[in-house]
Structure 1
Amino acid sequence: MDIGVAPNSPVPKAKSPVGRIITWSLIGLLLLIAAINSVATVQFGHVGLYKTLGKLSDNTLAPGIHFKIPFVQKIIQVNVQVTKAEADTSASSKDLQPVSTHVALNYSVNKESAYNLMNNIGGGFDTVIVAPAIQEIVKEVTAKYAAEDLIAKRDVVANEIHDLLTKRMAKYDLIVNDINIVNFKFSDAFNQSIEAKQVAQQQALKAENDLKRIQIEAQQTVAQAQAEAESLKLKKQEVTPDLIALKQIEVQQQAIQKWDGKLPSVTGGATPFIDVSNLSSK
Protein backbone atom coordinates (compact mmCIF):
# COMPACT_ATOMS: atom_id res chain seq x y z
CA MET A 1 0.00 0.00 0.00
CA ASP A 2 1.45 3.25 -1.00
CA ILE A 3 1.59 6.00 1.55
CA GLY A 4 1.39 9.35 -0.15
CA VAL A 5 1.59 12.83 1.10
CA ALA A 6 -1.68 14.36 2.00
CA PRO A 7 -2.50 17.03 -0.37
CA ASN A 8 -3.12 19.59 2.43
CA SER A 9 0.05 18.84 4.58
CA PRO A 10 2.65 21.70 4.77
CA VAL A 11 5.92 21.30 2.92
CA PRO A 12 9.06 22.39 4.91
CA LYS A 13 10.68 25.41 3.41
CA ALA A 14 14.40 25.96 3.23
CA LYS A 15 15.81 28.93 5.24
CA SER A 16 16.50 32.00 3.25
CA PRO A 17 20.10 33.29 2.92
CA VAL A 18 19.23 36.40 4.93
CA GLY A 19 18.07 34.33 7.87
CA ARG A 20 21.23 32.25 7.84
CA ILE A 21 23.36 35.40 7.81
CA ILE A 22 21.53 36.83 10.78
CA THR A 23 21.85 33.59 12.72
CA TRP A 24 25.58 33.23 12.13
CA SER A 25 26.09 36.90 12.88
CA LEU A 26 24.42 36.50 16.26
CA ILE A 27 26.47 33.40 16.98
CA GLY A 28 29.65 35.21 16.01
CA LEU A 29 28.74 38.21 18.12
CA LEU A 30 28.12 35.99 21.12
CA LEU A 31 31.45 34.22 20.59
CA LEU A 32 33.20 37.59 20.30
CA ILE A 33 31.63 38.86 23.50
CA ALA A 34 32.59 35.61 25.26
CA ALA A 35 36.16 35.91 23.98
CA ILE A 36 36.40 39.50 25.15
CA ASN A 37 35.07 38.56 28.58
CA SER A 38 37.46 35.64 28.90
CA VAL A 39 40.51 37.87 29.46
CA ALA A 40 41.22 40.77 31.81
CA THR A 41 44.23 43.00 32.43
CA VAL A 42 45.58 43.84 35.87
CA GLN A 43 47.08 47.32 35.68
CA PHE A 44 50.57 48.25 36.84
CA GLY A 45 50.64 49.17 40.52
CA HIS A 46 47.70 46.87 41.27
CA VAL A 47 47.07 43.25 42.17
CA GLY A 48 44.05 41.22 41.04
CA LEU A 49 41.65 38.86 42.80
CA TYR A 50 39.23 36.43 41.14
CA LYS A 51 35.60 36.83 42.10
CA THR A 52 33.52 33.81 41.04
CA LEU A 53 29.76 34.14 41.47
CA GLY A 54 30.27 36.49 44.41
CA LYS A 55 33.01 34.44 46.09
CA LEU A 56 36.45 36.02 46.38
CA SER A 57 39.53 33.92 45.67
CA ASP A 58 42.71 34.27 47.72
CA ASN A 59 44.83 33.78 44.61
CA THR A 60 46.61 37.10 44.07
CA LEU A 61 47.20 38.04 40.43
CA ALA A 62 50.23 40.05 39.35
CA PRO A 63 49.97 42.90 36.81
CA GLY A 64 49.34 41.61 33.26
CA ILE A 65 46.74 39.70 31.20
CA HIS A 66 44.79 36.89 32.86
CA PHE A 67 42.05 34.50 31.65
CA LYS A 68 38.70 34.15 33.36
CA ILE A 69 35.42 32.34 32.81
CA PRO A 70 33.14 34.64 30.79
CA PHE A 71 30.08 35.95 32.62
CA VAL A 72 31.00 33.86 35.68
CA GLN A 73 34.26 35.32 36.89
CA LYS A 74 35.60 38.83 37.12
CA ILE A 75 38.86 40.22 38.37
CA ILE A 76 38.88 42.85 41.12
CA GLN A 77 41.86 45.19 41.03
CA VAL A 78 43.39 46.47 44.27
CA ASN A 79 45.66 49.52 44.17
CA VAL A 80 48.90 48.81 46.06
CA GLN A 81 50.61 52.09 45.19
CA VAL A 82 51.22 54.80 47.78
CA THR A 83 47.95 56.68 48.35
CA LYS A 84 47.50 60.07 49.95
CA ALA A 85 44.78 60.74 52.51
CA GLU A 86 44.19 64.18 54.03
CA ALA A 87 42.10 65.02 57.07
CA ASP A 88 41.19 68.00 59.24
CA THR A 89 40.72 67.34 62.93
CA SER A 90 39.50 69.61 65.73
CA ALA A 91 40.56 68.94 69.31
CA SER A 92 41.79 70.59 72.50
CA SER A 93 45.39 70.75 73.63
CA LYS A 94 46.58 69.78 77.10
CA ASP A 95 46.08 73.38 78.27
CA LEU A 96 42.54 73.37 76.79
CA GLN A 97 43.37 75.51 73.77
CA PRO A 98 41.21 74.70 70.71
CA VAL A 99 43.41 73.47 67.88
CA SER A 100 42.63 72.38 64.32
CA THR A 101 45.14 70.07 62.68
CA HIS A 102 45.51 69.39 58.96
CA VAL A 103 47.24 66.05 58.40
CA ALA A 104 48.45 64.36 55.19
CA LEU A 105 48.97 60.60 55.37
CA ASN A 106 50.75 58.47 52.77
CA TYR A 107 49.84 54.80 53.01
CA SER A 108 49.64 51.67 50.85
CA VAL A 109 48.03 48.24 50.80
CA ASN A 110 50.15 45.21 51.63
CA LYS A 111 49.84 43.34 48.35
CA GLU A 112 50.54 40.01 50.04
CA SER A 113 47.43 40.49 52.15
CA ALA A 114 45.13 42.14 49.63
CA TYR A 115 42.68 39.23 49.90
CA ASN A 116 42.26 39.70 53.67
CA LEU A 117 41.64 43.42 53.27
CA MET A 118 39.10 43.06 50.47
CA ASN A 119 37.36 40.07 52.02
CA ASN A 120 37.07 41.59 55.50
CA ILE A 121 36.73 45.33 54.79
CA GLY A 122 36.01 45.76 51.09
CA GLY A 123 36.93 48.46 48.63
CA GLY A 124 35.84 51.31 50.92
CA PHE A 125 38.65 50.78 53.43
CA ASP A 126 39.77 54.39 52.98
CA THR A 127 36.56 55.69 54.54
CA VAL A 128 35.95 52.73 56.85
CA ILE A 129 39.46 52.41 58.33
CA VAL A 130 41.86 55.18 57.28
CA ALA A 131 39.82 58.34 57.88
CA PRO A 132 38.49 57.36 61.34
CA ALA A 133 41.96 56.21 62.45
CA ILE A 134 43.48 59.58 61.51
CA GLN A 135 40.76 61.49 63.35
CA GLU A 136 40.99 59.46 66.53
CA ILE A 137 44.79 59.28 66.83
CA VAL A 138 45.47 62.92 65.96
CA LYS A 139 42.98 64.01 68.65
CA GLU A 140 44.54 61.61 71.13
CA VAL A 141 48.08 62.88 70.54
CA THR A 142 47.30 66.61 70.45
CA ALA A 143 45.56 66.29 73.82
CA LYS A 144 48.90 65.24 75.37
CA TYR A 145 50.72 68.48 74.54
CA ALA A 146 50.26 72.12 75.49
CA ALA A 147 49.48 74.42 72.58
CA GLU A 148 52.96 75.96 72.50
CA ASP A 149 54.58 72.51 72.61
CA LEU A 150 52.57 71.43 69.57
CA ILE A 151 54.40 74.16 67.68
CA ALA A 152 57.82 73.74 69.28
CA LYS A 153 57.77 69.92 69.18
CA ARG A 154 56.13 69.45 65.79
CA ASP A 155 58.45 66.60 64.78
CA VAL A 156 57.90 64.76 68.06
CA VAL A 157 54.13 65.04 67.68
CA ALA A 158 54.28 63.81 64.06
CA ASN A 159 56.43 60.81 65.03
CA GLU A 160 54.02 59.82 67.79
CA ILE A 161 51.06 60.03 65.40
CA HIS A 162 53.03 57.97 62.87
CA ASP A 163 53.77 55.21 65.39
CA LEU A 164 50.19 54.94 66.62
CA LEU A 165 48.74 54.95 63.11
CA THR A 166 51.24 52.27 62.04
CA LYS A 167 50.08 49.96 64.82
CA ARG A 168 46.39 50.67 64.19
CA MET A 169 46.44 50.20 60.41
CA ALA A 170 48.72 47.15 60.49
CA LYS A 171 45.71 45.22 61.85
CA TYR A 172 44.04 45.75 58.48
CA ASP A 173 47.11 45.05 56.32
CA LEU A 174 47.65 48.73 55.57
CA ILE A 175 51.16 50.18 55.58
CA VAL A 176 51.85 53.72 56.83
CA ASN A 177 54.60 55.22 54.68
CA ASP A 178 54.73 58.77 55.98
CA ILE A 179 52.69 61.39 57.78
CA ASN A 180 52.98 65.17 57.70
CA ILE A 181 51.37 67.77 59.92
CA VAL A 182 50.56 70.38 57.30
CA ASN A 183 49.23 73.00 59.68
CA PHE A 184 48.17 73.79 63.23
CA LYS A 185 45.45 76.40 63.57
CA PHE A 186 44.74 78.05 66.92
CA SER A 187 42.27 80.66 68.14
CA ASP A 188 42.87 84.36 67.44
CA ALA A 189 43.32 85.07 71.15
CA PHE A 190 46.05 82.44 71.43
CA ASN A 191 47.81 83.72 68.31
CA GLN A 192 47.79 87.24 69.74
CA SER A 193 49.25 86.02 73.04
CA ILE A 194 52.00 84.16 71.20
CA GLU A 195 52.81 87.25 69.18
CA ALA A 196 52.94 89.43 72.33
CA LYS A 197 55.19 86.89 74.02
CA GLN A 198 57.55 86.85 71.07
CA VAL A 199 57.72 90.65 71.06
CA ALA A 200 58.48 90.66 74.80
CA GLN A 201 61.19 88.03 74.34
CA GLN A 202 62.77 90.03 71.53
CA GLN A 203 62.76 93.20 73.64
CA ALA A 204 64.25 91.35 76.59
CA LEU A 205 66.92 89.86 74.35
CA LYS A 206 67.74 93.32 72.96
CA ALA A 207 68.01 94.75 76.47
CA GLU A 208 70.24 91.87 77.52
CA ASN A 209 72.47 92.39 74.49
CA ASP A 210 72.67 96.14 75.20
CA LEU A 211 73.66 95.44 78.81
CA LYS A 212 76.34 93.00 77.70
CA ARG A 213 77.66 95.58 75.22
CA ILE A 214 77.82 98.27 77.92
CA GLN A 215 79.57 95.90 80.30
CA ILE A 216 82.09 94.95 77.64
CA GLU A 217 82.76 98.58 76.78
CA ALA A 218 83.21 99.42 80.48
CA GLN A 219 85.58 96.50 80.90
CA GLN A 220 87.55 97.69 77.89
CA THR A 221 87.73 101.22 79.34
CA VAL A 222 88.93 99.89 82.71
CA ALA A 223 91.46 97.66 81.02
CA GLN A 224 92.78 100.57 78.97
CA ALA A 225 93.07 102.81 82.05
CA GLN A 226 94.83 100.07 83.96
CA ALA A 227 97.25 99.60 81.09
CA GLU A 228 98.01 103.33 80.97
CA ALA A 229 98.51 103.49 84.73
CA GLU A 230 100.78 100.49 84.63
CA SER A 231 102.75 102.11 81.84
CA LEU A 232 103.23 105.34 83.86
CA LYS A 233 104.22 103.33 86.89
CA LEU A 234 106.86 101.49 84.93
CA LYS A 235 108.17 104.76 83.52
CA LYS A 236 108.50 106.25 87.03
CA GLN A 237 110.31 103.15 88.23
CA GLU A 238 112.81 103.52 85.39
CA VAL A 239 113.80 107.14 86.37
CA THR A 240 116.70 106.61 88.85
CA PRO A 241 119.65 108.87 89.99
CA ASP A 242 122.02 106.82 87.91
CA LEU A 243 119.81 107.36 84.86
CA ILE A 244 119.79 111.13 85.51
CA ALA A 245 123.62 111.22 85.86
CA LEU A 246 123.95 109.21 82.67
CA LYS A 247 121.69 111.65 80.81
CA GLN A 248 123.85 114.58 82.08
CA ILE A 249 127.03 112.91 80.85
CA GLU A 250 125.40 112.36 77.46
CA VAL A 251 124.44 116.05 77.28
CA GLN A 252 128.01 117.11 78.21
CA GLN A 253 129.46 114.80 75.59
CA GLN A 254 127.21 116.28 72.96
CA ALA A 255 128.33 119.80 74.01
CA ILE A 256 132.02 118.86 73.79
CA GLN A 257 131.49 117.42 70.34
CA LYS A 258 129.97 120.69 69.21
CA TRP A 259 132.79 122.95 70.82
CA ASP A 260 135.01 124.75 68.25
CA GLY A 261 138.10 125.04 70.55
CA LYS A 262 137.65 128.73 71.45
CA LEU A 263 137.14 129.83 75.03
CA PRO A 264 134.37 132.32 75.67
CA SER A 265 135.58 135.91 76.26
CA VAL A 266 133.41 136.28 79.32
CA THR A 267 132.51 133.61 81.80
CA GLY A 268 130.07 133.86 84.56
CA GLY A 269 128.91 131.94 87.49
CA ALA A 270 129.82 132.08 91.09
CA THR A 271 132.98 134.24 90.39
CA PRO A 272 133.02 137.83 89.08
CA PHE A 273 133.27 138.36 85.36
CA ILE A 274 136.88 138.39 84.08
CA ASP A 275 137.96 139.82 80.78
CA VAL A 276 140.11 137.06 79.38
CA SER A 277 141.44 139.19 76.51
CA ASN A 278 143.05 141.66 78.86
CA LEU A 279 144.86 138.95 80.73
CA SER A 280 146.38 137.58 77.62
CA SER A 281 147.75 141.00 76.49
CA LYS A 282 149.74 141.46 79.72
Structure 2
Amino acid sequence: MNGTSLNAGVKLIAAVVVVILLFALAPFGTVPAGYRGVMTTFGSPSDQVLSEGIHFRVPLAQRLNLVNVSIQKGEGEGDAASRDLQTVHTRVALNYHVRPDAAVTVFRDLGNEPGQRIIIPSVQEAVKAVTARFTAEELIAKRTDVRDQIIAQLRERLARHGIVVDEFSIVNFNFSRSFNDAIEAKTTAEQLKLKAERDLQRIEVEAKQRVAQAKAEAESLAVQRQQVTPELIRLREMENQRMAIEKWDGKLPNVAGGAIPFINVAGAVK
Protein backbone atom coordinates (compact mmCIF):
# COMPACT_ATOMS: atom_id res chain seq x y z
CA MET A 1 0.00 0.00 0.00
CA ASN A 2 2.86 2.30 0.78
CA GLY A 3 4.48 1.61 -2.59
CA THR A 4 1.24 2.21 -4.44
CA SER A 5 0.67 5.48 -2.63
CA LEU A 6 4.22 6.56 -3.38
CA ASN A 7 3.84 5.83 -7.08
CA ALA A 8 0.57 7.73 -7.18
CA GLY A 9 2.19 10.68 -5.47
CA VAL A 10 5.08 10.67 -7.93
CA LYS A 11 2.72 10.56 -10.89
CA LEU A 12 0.70 13.44 -9.46
CA ILE A 13 3.82 15.49 -8.93
CA ALA A 14 4.99 14.67 -12.46
CA ALA A 15 1.63 15.73 -13.90
CA VAL A 16 1.77 19.01 -12.01
CA VAL A 17 5.30 19.63 -13.25
CA VAL A 18 4.25 18.92 -16.82
CA VAL A 19 1.33 21.33 -16.53
CA ILE A 20 3.60 23.97 -15.05
CA LEU A 21 6.12 23.45 -17.84
CA LEU A 22 3.38 23.69 -20.45
CA PHE A 23 2.21 27.01 -19.06
CA ALA A 24 5.76 28.24 -18.64
CA LEU A 25 6.88 27.27 -22.11
CA ALA A 26 3.53 28.29 -23.69
CA PRO A 27 3.52 26.15 -26.84
CA PHE A 28 0.43 28.01 -28.03
CA GLY A 29 -0.02 31.69 -28.78
CA THR A 30 -3.19 33.69 -29.32
CA VAL A 31 -3.74 36.52 -31.80
CA PRO A 32 -6.66 38.67 -30.52
CA ALA A 33 -9.12 40.67 -32.62
CA GLY A 34 -7.61 43.76 -34.23
CA TYR A 35 -4.13 42.26 -34.43
CA ARG A 36 -2.01 40.12 -36.72
CA GLY A 37 0.76 37.77 -35.60
CA VAL A 38 4.37 37.52 -36.74
CA MET A 39 6.24 34.41 -35.65
CA THR A 40 9.97 34.76 -34.99
CA THR A 41 12.36 31.82 -34.71
CA PHE A 42 15.37 32.77 -32.63
CA GLY A 43 14.59 36.39 -33.50
CA SER A 44 14.17 35.91 -37.25
CA PRO A 45 10.66 36.89 -38.43
CA SER A 46 8.67 34.58 -40.68
CA ASP A 47 7.15 35.91 -43.91
CA GLN A 48 3.74 34.53 -42.94
CA VAL A 49 1.12 36.81 -41.40
CA LEU A 50 -0.87 34.96 -38.72
CA SER A 51 -4.55 35.82 -38.48
CA GLU A 52 -6.68 36.04 -35.34
CA GLY A 53 -6.89 32.81 -33.31
CA ILE A 54 -4.62 30.22 -31.60
CA HIS A 55 -1.29 29.26 -33.17
CA PHE A 56 1.31 26.65 -32.19
CA ARG A 57 4.87 27.71 -31.54
CA VAL A 58 8.00 25.82 -30.60
CA PRO A 59 8.74 26.62 -26.97
CA LEU A 60 11.95 28.53 -26.33
CA ALA A 61 12.71 28.70 -30.06
CA GLN A 62 9.74 30.65 -31.39
CA ARG A 63 7.87 33.72 -30.21
CA LEU A 64 4.50 35.09 -31.36
CA ASN A 65 4.61 38.88 -31.85
CA LEU A 66 1.47 40.97 -32.21
CA VAL A 67 1.03 43.83 -34.70
CA ASN A 68 -1.91 46.22 -34.17
CA VAL A 69 -3.95 46.55 -37.39
CA SER A 70 -6.94 48.39 -35.90
CA ILE A 71 -7.53 52.10 -36.48
CA GLN A 72 -5.32 54.20 -34.24
CA LYS A 73 -5.33 57.91 -33.51
CA GLY A 74 -2.35 60.20 -33.21
CA GLU A 75 -2.14 63.94 -32.45
CA GLY A 76 0.76 66.31 -32.75
CA GLU A 77 1.75 69.94 -33.14
CA GLY A 78 4.62 71.89 -34.54
CA ASP A 79 5.79 75.15 -36.09
CA ALA A 80 6.12 75.91 -39.78
CA ALA A 81 6.49 78.96 -42.04
CA SER A 82 3.92 80.21 -44.53
CA ARG A 83 4.77 81.49 -47.99
CA ASP A 84 4.81 85.07 -46.68
CA LEU A 85 7.17 83.97 -43.88
CA GLN A 86 4.63 84.07 -41.08
CA THR A 87 5.23 81.59 -38.25
CA VAL A 88 2.38 79.08 -38.07
CA HIS A 89 1.80 76.78 -35.11
CA THR A 90 -0.28 73.86 -36.31
CA ARG A 91 -2.08 71.15 -34.34
CA VAL A 92 -3.20 68.10 -36.31
CA ALA A 93 -4.91 64.75 -35.71
CA LEU A 94 -4.43 61.58 -37.75
CA ASN A 95 -6.35 58.30 -37.87
CA TYR A 96 -4.45 55.43 -39.48
CA HIS A 97 -4.11 51.65 -39.51
CA VAL A 98 -1.54 49.07 -40.60
CA ARG A 99 -2.60 46.99 -43.59
CA PRO A 100 -3.05 43.41 -42.30
CA ASP A 101 -1.01 41.97 -45.16
CA ALA A 102 1.86 44.36 -44.30
CA ALA A 103 2.16 43.26 -40.66
CA VAL A 104 5.49 41.52 -41.29
CA THR A 105 6.89 44.61 -43.05
CA VAL A 106 5.87 46.90 -40.20
CA PHE A 107 7.32 44.50 -37.63
CA ARG A 108 10.58 43.96 -39.48
CA ASP A 109 11.26 47.40 -41.00
CA LEU A 110 9.68 49.70 -38.40
CA GLY A 111 10.33 47.68 -35.28
CA ASN A 112 6.59 47.43 -34.72
CA GLU A 113 6.58 51.15 -33.87
CA PRO A 114 5.11 52.86 -36.96
CA GLY A 115 4.02 55.92 -34.98
CA GLN A 116 7.48 56.89 -33.82
CA ARG A 117 9.47 55.55 -36.77
CA ILE A 118 7.54 56.89 -39.79
CA ILE A 119 4.16 58.53 -39.02
CA ILE A 120 5.29 61.46 -36.86
CA PRO A 121 8.19 62.45 -39.16
CA SER A 122 5.98 62.10 -42.24
CA VAL A 123 3.23 64.29 -40.74
CA GLN A 124 5.73 66.99 -39.75
CA GLU A 125 7.34 66.99 -43.19
CA ALA A 126 4.00 67.07 -45.04
CA VAL A 127 2.62 69.90 -42.90
CA LYS A 128 5.76 72.03 -43.41
CA ALA A 129 5.86 71.36 -47.16
CA VAL A 130 2.21 72.25 -47.76
CA THR A 131 2.13 75.22 -45.36
CA ALA A 132 4.98 76.83 -47.33
CA ARG A 133 2.76 76.91 -50.44
CA PHE A 134 0.16 79.25 -48.89
CA THR A 135 0.20 82.68 -47.33
CA ALA A 136 -1.01 83.02 -43.76
CA GLU A 137 -4.38 84.40 -44.89
CA GLU A 138 -4.77 81.61 -47.45
CA LEU A 139 -4.15 79.01 -44.74
CA ILE A 140 -7.29 80.33 -43.03
CA ALA A 141 -9.41 80.90 -46.13
CA LYS A 142 -8.36 77.71 -47.95
CA ARG A 143 -8.16 75.36 -45.00
CA THR A 144 -9.84 72.51 -46.88
CA ASP A 145 -7.34 72.73 -49.75
CA VAL A 146 -4.46 72.72 -47.26
CA ARG A 147 -5.82 69.62 -45.54
CA ASP A 148 -6.38 67.78 -48.83
CA GLN A 149 -2.83 68.44 -50.00
CA ILE A 150 -1.40 67.23 -46.69
CA ILE A 151 -3.48 64.05 -46.89
CA ALA A 152 -2.27 63.39 -50.44
CA GLN A 153 1.37 63.65 -49.36
CA LEU A 154 0.84 61.48 -46.29
CA ARG A 155 -0.92 58.73 -48.21
CA GLU A 156 1.86 58.59 -50.76
CA ARG A 157 4.59 58.47 -48.10
CA LEU A 158 2.95 55.99 -45.71
CA ALA A 159 1.59 53.60 -48.34
CA ARG A 160 5.16 52.49 -49.07
CA HIS A 161 5.37 51.23 -45.48
CA GLY A 162 2.01 49.44 -45.40
CA ILE A 163 0.18 52.19 -43.49
CA VAL A 164 -3.22 53.51 -44.55
CA VAL A 165 -4.39 57.07 -43.73
CA ASP A 166 -8.04 56.92 -42.70
CA GLU A 167 -8.59 60.54 -41.72
CA PHE A 168 -6.57 63.70 -41.24
CA SER A 169 -7.74 66.89 -39.54
CA ILE A 170 -6.21 70.29 -38.93
CA VAL A 171 -7.29 70.94 -35.36
CA ASN A 172 -6.03 74.51 -35.22
CA PHE A 173 -3.81 77.18 -36.79
CA ASN A 174 -2.13 79.69 -34.48
CA PHE A 175 -0.25 82.76 -35.68
CA SER A 176 1.86 85.45 -34.05
CA ARG A 177 0.17 88.18 -32.00
CA SER A 178 1.08 90.87 -34.52
CA PHE A 179 -0.49 88.91 -37.37
CA ASN A 180 -3.66 88.26 -35.35
CA ASP A 181 -3.92 91.98 -34.60
CA ALA A 182 -3.49 92.80 -38.29
CA ILE A 183 -6.22 90.32 -39.24
CA GLU A 184 -8.54 91.77 -36.62
CA ALA A 185 -7.90 95.33 -37.88
CA LYS A 186 -8.53 94.26 -41.47
CA THR A 187 -11.76 92.52 -40.48
CA THR A 188 -12.95 95.60 -38.62
CA ALA A 189 -12.14 97.82 -41.62
CA GLU A 190 -14.05 95.52 -43.95
CA GLN A 191 -17.04 95.52 -41.62
CA LEU A 192 -17.03 99.33 -41.47
CA LYS A 193 -16.73 99.50 -45.25
CA LEU A 194 -19.66 97.11 -45.64
CA LYS A 195 -21.74 99.17 -43.20
CA ALA A 196 -20.93 102.37 -45.11
CA GLU A 197 -21.96 100.73 -48.39
CA ARG A 198 -25.23 99.57 -46.85
CA ASP A 199 -25.89 103.06 -45.45
CA LEU A 200 -25.19 104.58 -48.88
CA GLN A 201 -27.57 102.16 -50.53
CA ARG A 202 -30.23 102.98 -47.93
CA ILE A 203 -29.77 106.73 -48.48
CA GLU A 204 -30.03 106.28 -52.25
CA VAL A 205 -33.22 104.23 -51.89
CA GLU A 206 -34.75 106.80 -49.52
CA ALA A 207 -33.83 109.64 -51.90
CA LYS A 208 -35.44 107.81 -54.82
CA GLN A 209 -38.55 107.24 -52.71
CA ARG A 210 -38.77 110.97 -51.86
CA VAL A 211 -38.31 111.91 -55.53
CA ALA A 212 -41.01 109.43 -56.53
CA GLN A 213 -43.36 110.78 -53.84
CA ALA A 214 -42.75 114.40 -54.86
CA LYS A 215 -43.28 113.50 -58.51
CA ALA A 216 -46.55 111.76 -57.66
CA GLU A 217 -47.77 114.77 -55.64
CA ALA A 218 -46.84 117.15 -58.47
CA GLU A 219 -48.67 115.03 -61.00
CA SER A 220 -51.71 114.92 -58.70
CA LEU A 221 -51.74 118.73 -58.37
CA ALA A 222 -51.38 119.09 -62.12
CA VAL A 223 -54.37 116.82 -62.68
CA GLN A 224 -56.40 118.79 -60.13
CA ARG A 225 -55.52 122.10 -61.84
CA GLN A 226 -56.62 120.69 -65.16
CA GLN A 227 -59.98 119.75 -63.66
CA VAL A 228 -60.69 123.26 -62.23
CA THR A 229 -63.17 125.14 -64.53
CA PRO A 230 -65.14 128.43 -64.13
CA GLU A 231 -68.31 126.39 -63.61
CA LEU A 232 -66.60 124.40 -60.80
CA ILE A 233 -65.48 127.64 -59.15
CA ARG A 234 -69.03 129.07 -59.36
CA LEU A 235 -70.44 125.85 -57.93
CA ARG A 236 -68.02 125.98 -55.00
CA GLU A 237 -69.06 129.64 -54.32
CA MET A 238 -72.74 128.72 -54.32
CA GLU A 239 -72.11 125.81 -51.95
CA ASN A 240 -70.23 128.11 -49.60
CA GLN A 241 -73.08 130.67 -49.65
CA ARG A 242 -75.69 127.96 -49.01
CA MET A 243 -73.75 126.64 -46.04
CA ALA A 244 -73.43 130.18 -44.67
CA ILE A 245 -77.22 130.81 -45.03
CA GLU A 246 -78.02 127.53 -43.26
CA LYS A 247 -75.88 128.60 -40.33
CA TRP A 248 -77.34 132.22 -40.20
CA ASP A 249 -79.71 132.93 -37.28
CA GLY A 250 -81.61 135.75 -39.09
CA LYS A 251 -79.90 138.57 -37.25
CA LEU A 252 -77.73 141.07 -38.96
CA PRO A 253 -74.41 141.63 -37.29
CA ASN A 254 -73.75 144.80 -35.32
CA VAL A 255 -70.97 146.59 -37.12
CA ALA A 256 -69.64 150.03 -36.53
CA GLY A 257 -69.06 150.58 -40.16
CA GLY A 258 -68.33 148.90 -43.40
CA ALA A 259 -70.46 146.85 -45.75
CA ILE A 260 -72.83 144.11 -44.67
CA PRO A 261 -71.03 140.82 -45.32
CA PHE A 262 -73.98 139.04 -46.99
CA ILE A 263 -75.23 140.23 -50.38
CA ASN A 264 -78.83 139.59 -51.47
CA VAL A 265 -79.55 137.88 -48.17
CA ALA A 266 -83.26 138.83 -48.22
CA GLY A 267 -83.68 137.47 -51.73
CA ALA A 268 -81.95 134.26 -50.76
CA VAL A 269 -84.28 133.83 -47.76
CA LYS A 270 -87.38 134.29 -49.92
2:100 equivalent to 1:111? yes
Gaps of 5+ in 1: 1-14, 256-267, 275-282
Equivalent AA in structure 1 for residue 60 of structure 2: F
2:225 equivalent to 1:198? no
CA shift, 1:182, in A, is 0.8
Aligned pair count?
240
Q: What is aligned with 1:34?
A: 22
Query: What pairs with 1:18-167 in structure 2 (closer than 5 Å)?
Result: 25=13, 28-34=16-22, 37-167=26-156
Work out which of the residue numbers 217, 221, 231 in structure 1 matches 2:210: 221
Check 1:68–1:101 CA distance in 2 against 1; reply closer, same or farther (3 A cut). same
Question: 1:217-266: CA deviations, max 9, x gaps?
Answer: 1111111111111222233334457xx37985xx89xx9xxxxxxxxxxx
Check 1:39–1:214 CA distance in 2 against 1; reply closer, same or farther (3 A cut). same
2:162 equivalent to 1:179? no
Q: What is aligned with 2:245?
A: none
Q: What is aligned with 1:278?
A: none
CA shift, 1:19, in A, is 11
Contact kept? 1:35, 1:70, Cα under 8 Å: no
Equivalent AA in structure 2 for residue 25 of structure 1: I
CA shift, 1:99, in A, is 0.9
TM-score (norm 1): 0.75
Q: Runs (4+) of structure 1 moved beyond 6 Å?
A: 17-20
CA shift, 1:96, in A, is 0.6
CA shift, 1:82, in A, is 1.0
Check 1:236–1:173 CA distance in 2 against 1; reply closer, same or farther (3 A cut). same
Q: What is aligned with 1:260?
A: none
Question: 1:102-147: CA deviations, max 9, x gaps?
Answer: 1111111001221222222221221110010011110001111100
CA shift, 1:34, in A, is 2.2
Question: 1:75-105: CA deviations, max 9, x gaps?
Answer: 1111111111112121111111111111111
Q: Percent identity?
A: 40
Structure number, greater radius of gyration? 1
